[in-house]
Structure 1
Amino acid sequence: MVTSLAVGALGGVLFQLSGLPLAWMLGPMIANLLASSRGMNVAVPESLRQAFLAVMGLVLGSQVTPQLVHRMLDWPVSAALLLLGVAASTAVAAAWYRRCGFDPVSAWFGASPGAMTAMIMLGDKCGGDAQRIAVAQSLRIILVILFLPPLFWAFEGDAGAASSEHATLAHGWMLLTIPLLLPLGRWLRLPSAALLAPLIAAALLSGFDIASLTLPDWGMNLMLWVLGSAIGSRFKGMTRRLLGRYLWQSGVATLLALVVLALFAEMIHQLLGVGRDVALLALAPGGIGEMAILAVALDIDPVFVAFHHLLRMVTLMIVAPFWARWLLRRQPSSLSSNDK
């Protein structure tokens, strides 16, 4: 843990001095990714990652206000476009992975833009290559995080930067609820329980105007430092050559998915008047936790973004088992054709 956080701190400082966006998330993430590819033993304990993800959930849920309800009337339209975009982008990315030698099950589950853990487990159960699916899913999240902030930064300048008006910690007592909310979320079997249980609790408190959690700049940077280090340290033990090959395959797949989803995001912008940055981040093929981090850090309508990513994750978890059965019936030989 100490090594990973130290490497992450170095990356954060270098990015901060370079004036790059999201310095304390992208810096630690890239630094740990490079360190892990060079054989360094970098890792962030899962318990620490979940604790800081819970803090993110509290911050995100605190964005809910009584005034938000009237906006939800527009969300069914954007939700429908989201689901159509997910289907189209998954098909395009899966076609690319098939060209890269993936078997059908691994291609489809590797291309699925969300619910990473469920996709890996279900793909493995259905005869796919679990390692390929896991690497494709993990790199998709990292590449989306790398692509989007510079894109927003280039086209909007400081417009996407997080607000720094909160100089002090507000309602910090909410942090004391995390030890209760984490086991409660697991007991309720919520997807991404470490994020969603605190998010729901904070949304109720904030929605009824009881309390909301805001973090000072140093608190946000601390949270981004730990979470960015955790994301980058996922590839411990992978050789640089193999990582380069997977980066090429996943990079093309991620760009294809982003282009397709950007078209659907433009439809949401045109039909509902939602900002292009908000619509794109809501549809971006990243994980709900990572996209929530970006939404809060960049101050891009976090509640709208989180709602659409949660909808996508739940839908994928419902649809994926039926899709897997269809794939297996259509390609019965796929169980024995894996390119392990």
Structure 2
Amino acid sequence: MPTISSLLPVFLTLAISAAGGGVATLLGLPAGWLMGGAVAVTVAAMAGLPIRMPNWLRDVSFLSIGMSMGASVAPDSLQLITSWPISIAALMLELVLIVSLTGWMLVKVFKLDPGTAYLSSFPGHLSFVLGIAAAGVGDPRQIVIIQVIRLLMLTICVPIGAMFMPIGIKVVSLDAVAVLEWWQIGLLAAACIIGGLIFVRLKVPAAFVLGPMAVATVAKLAGLYVGSMPSPLTAITFVLTGALIGSRFAGLERREFLRAAKGGLIATAMTVGIVTAIAYGLSFMVDMPFGQLWLGLSPGALEGMGALGIALGYDTAFIAAHHVIRLLVLSFAIPMVVVFIRRREAATFARQNRLEPQDIDK
């Protein structure tokens, strides 16, 4: 059982996230509970405060996001699927551009080794990327800094962009729609937990997000319920998610962070530029809001982008489907790129040491 002393950092983390989210909400920022919480916990972590999000609380956050995403699915999602192949093709183009351009930039400008540069440029699948890095490809610490900066900056950019981009933005009030009764939420939560455990058993990425969302989505489209989550529960979900995003900076040394932060910020800016350009062009080809397209194509964490989709009133089925496809594509692309990098490094080593071709694999 956890002790009081071990729970104090957890309570502190949640309190900081709630305070930051409350301030951002009072200032009228879209998705204030999420963005404000993430920024506040990040600052606290970098200041050296004891920030901690245990795995069980992380899974609770994932479960809440999955349920909320499923409850926010638009009833006409099935009719809109016919336009998805175009956006999926745009997603494939975007992934190629992001990995190739940001990886090249990190190698040429910041002189990172190819393993660190290209693993840092992959837009997603952070646990998979870090697992490969831990096996000896690239510098795991620099990779995690660049990747976490990407997640944080994307979480901040979307709500700020919602204030200045008039293209299809439709921030909605969660109080304006019918909400579920608490007994319905209890039944749905039980079913979602079972769905998450099944997805864990099947080794599906982001299982405790996608499993609950799949259950909640199927139940909603089947007509088993029609309401959405109550706004207090949604606010708690955003506070948890903000704390989770910010807690990823815990334990990073300031000097190490600053060394990798410049490359991470430029790589994130390039990523945002590529996503924005492709989403803007795509908005003329499909009948969807620009913001929804941006969130679907955005290479942020599924839980973060899903939470933003809920807060901004977009179709979470579209957003989740494209993030799942992105993760599946990366599952195949990351090992292929790593093999390519290893072979290039081996060939370079062979040329420098005048080895025979048959000795390269050794």
TM-score, length-scaled by structure 2: 0.86
Secondary structure (helix, strand or coil) at the match of 1:286 reads coil
The residue type paired with residue 103 of structure 2 is: A
The 3-state SS of whatever aligns with 2:251 is coil
The answer for the alignment partner of 1:166 in structure 2 is 177
1:145 is matched with which residue? Answer: 155
Aligned-partner Cα distance in 2 for 1:14–1:68: 34
Relative to 1, partners in 2 of residues 1:20 and 1:245: Cα closer, same or farther, differing over 3 Å?
A: farther
Quick one: structure 1 residues 304 and 239, their matched pair in 2 at CA, closer, same or farther if it must change by over 3 Å?
A: same
Distance in 2, Cα, partners of 1:6 & 1:317: 36
* Cα separation, 1, equivalents of 2:276 and 2:227: 32
The superposition leaves residues 79-120 of structure 1 with CA deviations (integer Å, 9 ceiling, x where unpaired) of 011111111011111122112121101111110111111112
Does the 8 A contact of 1:166 with 1:215 survive in 2?
A: no
1:304 and 2:313 equivalent? no
Runs of 4+ in 1 over 6 A off after TM superposition: none
Determine the structure 1 residue equivalent to 2:4. Answer: none
- Give the partner amino acid of 1:10: A
Does 148-157 or 52-61 show the bigger shift?
Answer: 148-157
Q: Which residue of 1 aligns with 2:24?
A: 15
2:282: which partner in 1?
Answer: 268
Matched, 1:323 2:332: no
The CA distance in 2 between the partners of 1:32 and 1:157, in whole Å, is 31
Q: 1:175 to 1:212 in 2, by over 3 A?
A: farther
Could you tell me which amino acid in structure 2 is paired with residue 100 of structure 1? F
2:293 to 279, 289, 299: 279
- Aligned to 1:272, the other structure's residue is in SS state coil
Residue number in structure 2 paired with 1:197: 211
Report the CA distance shift for 1:65/1:58 in structure 2 as closer, same or farther (over 3 A).
same
Structure 1 residue 159, shift from structure 2 partner: 4.2
> 1:57 is matched with which residue?
66
1: distance between equivalents of 2:169 and 2:278?
Answer: 22
Contact 1:8–1:28 (CA<8 Å) still a contact in 2? yes
With over 3 angstroms needed to count, the CA separation of the structure-2 counterparts of 1:310 and 1:45, relative to structure 1, is: same
Q: CA RMSD in A?
A: 2.1
Judge which range, 314-323 or 260-269, deviates more: 260-269
Cα separation, 2, equivalents of 1:84 and 1:94:
15
Identity, % of aligned pairs? Answer: 24
Contact 1:60/1:302, CA 8 A, preserved across alignment: yes
Length, aligned pairs only: 335
**Alpha-carbon distance in 2 for matches of 1:268, 1:191:** 27
Q: CA deviation at 1:244?
A: 3.3
- The equivalent of 2:141 in structure 1 is 131
Whether 1:180 aligns to 2:194 is yes
Aligned mates of 1:269, 1:47 — CA distance in 2:
39
Larger Rg: 2
Greater alpha carbon shift after TM alignment, 219-228 vs 155-164: 155-164
| Structure 2: segments with no counterpart, 5+ residues | 1-9, 350-362
Quick one: which of 111, 115, 128 aligns to 1:101? 111
Per the TM alignment, residue 73 of structure 1 is displaced from its structure 2 partner at its CA by: 1.2
Which residue is 2:272 aligned to? Answer: 258
Query: Match of 1:271, SS?
Result: coil
Structure 1 unaligned regions, length at least 5: 336-340
- CA distances 1:197-217 after superposition (whole Å, capped 9, x unpaired): 111111221121122561122
- Given the superposition, is the C-alpha separation of residues 321 and 45 from structure 1 closer, same or farther in structure 2, using an over 3 Å criterion? same
Question: What displacement does 1:121 show?
Answer: 1.2
CA distance in 1, matches of 2:227, 2:326: 26
1:183 and 1:124 map into 2 onto residues whose CA distance is: 27
The reply on whether 1:85 has 2:90 as its aligned counterpart is: no
Q: Distance in 2 between matches of 1:157 and 1:75?
A: 19
Query: Which residue matches 1:220?
Result: 234
Deviations 1:268-293 (A, max 9, x none): 21222322211111111211221111
TM-score, normalised on structure 1? 0.92
Q: CA deviation at 1:302?
A: 1.5
